[in-house]
Amino acid sequence: NLLVFFLSSIRGLRSIPSLSRFHRLRYLWINNNKIQDLTFLIKNCCLTELYLHNNELTDISGALKHLRALQILLLHNNQLKKLGETVKELKGMLSLQTLNLFHNPLAQEQDYRLHVIHVLPSVQLLDRKPVAQKERESAFHLCNHERSCLVQSIAFGKRVNTPLGATVGSRRYSQPARRLMMPSVWKHSDNVHSLCSFCRVPFESPEDAVLLRAMTRSLMEFSFVDWNKVATCQERGLENRAEEPHEKLTIQFR
C-alpha cells in the first residue's frame, strides 16, 4: 500500500531493483543520484509525480510511456540527447502538466521548446516557465506547416435564407435549383413559413415529409480568404493607407 517513496541523494546509487511490489505507488523521488536505467519502473503505472532530476540518464525510450497518469515529471540535469525520441516517449501522458528538460543536451536543439509544446499540448509549465498561448500558436505553425496554411485560408460560413427557385452553386459555375412540386394539401398556403403548422400533421407518404424538410432548409454559404495576404492591425497602422478589398471566393450549396 506504499504511496510515497523517497530515494533521493543516496551516495553512489546507480541502480534500483524492481518496484513492482508497490503497484499503488503515486509519488517517487529518485533525484540527486547516478541512475542510468529506469527499467525498475515497468510495473508502477499509478505514478502521478516522478522526480528524476540530477541523475545520469542518457535515454528514456521504452521506460516511461506506460505511465499515463503522470502529472509532474522532472528530468532536468541529465544527459538526454535525442529530443524526438524523448518527447515521443512522453506523448501518451495526457495528464502531464509540469515537465522539466532543461540542462540536457537535447535542450540545445533548434526550436526545442516549441517542439515540446506541440507534441505535449497538456503541459502547462515547461522548464519552470508557463506555456503561453502565443507559444502554442507558434508551435502549431512551425511543426504543422501544411495544416497551418489550410487553417489560415478558411474564413467563415453562414446560413443563407433563399427561396427554392434560387440559384445554387458558386458564382462562376451555377445551376438553377430543382423546383419542388408542392403537395395538394399545401397549395393554398401563401409561403413556406405558413407551412409550419402542417409539421404536426401526420403525412400520408414519406415523400411529403421529405419535401417539407427540403422547403424549410436554407442554403449554406462559405467564403474563403487567404489570410496571409490580409494585413494585421499593426501593419495597417504602420502603412497609413486605405486597405484594398480582399480577394474572396464564395460558394453556396444546399
138 and 222 in a single domain? The answer is no
User: pLDDT-derived band of residue 251, with 50, 70 and 90 as boundaries?
Assistant: confident
**If pLDDT is split at 50, 70 and 90, which confidence band does 159 have?**
low
156, 169, 239, 250 from 247: Cα distances, Å = 14, 18, 20, 10
Question: What pLDDT does residue 53 have?
Answer: 96
Q: Among the three residues 147, 167, 192, which one is the final residue of a domain in this structure?
A: 147
Let me know: does 172 contact 250? Beta carbons within 8 Å.
Answer: no
- Count how many Cα atoms sit within 13 Å of the Cα of residue 45 in the half-sphere of its side chain: 4
pTM above 0.85, yes or no: no
Question: How many residues appear in the chain?
Answer: 254
Domain boundary among 88, 123, 147: 147
The SS3 of residue 106 is helix
CA 18 to chain CA mean position, Å: 36
- Find cell 497538456 and name the residue: 122
- The C-alpha angle 164, 165, 166, rounded to 5 degrees, equals 95
pLDDT at 238 (0 to 100): 67
Q: What is the CATH number of the domain that holds 66?
A: 3.80.10.10
Measured CA to CA in angstroms, residue 29 lies from 13, 32, 122 at distances of 13, 9, 23
Grade residue 219 by pLDDT with cuts at 50, 70 and 90.
low
More confident call, 24 vs 189: 24
All 3 cell numbers of residue 110?
A: 533548434
- Rounded to an integer, the average pLDDT of 157-180 is 47
- pLDDT tens-digit profile of 133-151? 999 988 888 877 656 555 5
Calculate the CA 170 to chain-centre distance. 32
Beta bridge partners of 222: 157, 251
Final residue in a domain of this structure, among 112, 147, 182: 147
- Using the predicted structure, report yes or no on whether residue 199 has a pLDDT greater than 70: no
What domain range includes position 225?
Answer: 218-253
Residue 224's pLDDT band, with cuts at 50, 70 and 90, is: confident
pLDDT tens, residue by residue, 48-94: 999 999 999 999 988 999 999 999 999 999 999 999 999 999 999 99
